[in-house]
Amino acid sequence: MRPVVKTLGTLRHKSLITMLIEKREASGLTQTELAEKLGEYQSFVARLESGQRRVDVVEFIDLAKILGFDPSAAIKRLAAEPN
């Protein structure tokens, strides 16, 4: 049985966070504006962007829709990166 690997702070997690920040900034949204579109508080986005919390699949799809990127292509790119 493989041990469970923590993902917070891994290279792949950092790449995901960097990509999400870049997409948010490219869309011209502040953390507060993105949070409002997600139905969350600004602190939710801040914790996500600081790497303090994971992004689940449903949140990732919502982020992709709001920020205007293809979630499938992003996952493929992240999967190709080292962990």
What pLDDT digit, counting tens, does each position of 13-40 carry? 999 999 999 999 999 999 999 999 999 9
Cα gap 77→16, rounded to integer Å:
10
User: Where does the pLDDT of residue 83 fall: very low under 50, low under 70, confident under 90, or very high at 90 and above?
Assistant: confident
pLDDT band at 2 (very low <50, low <70, confident <90, very high): low
- Residues 70-81 have pLDDT tens digits of 999 999 999 998
Residue 9 confidence (pLDDT): 85
As a CATH number, domain 11-80 is 1.10.260.40
What CA–CA distance (Å, rounded) separates 49 from 61?
16
Tokens, residue 49? 């962007």
Q: What is the Cα gyration radius of the chain?
A: 13
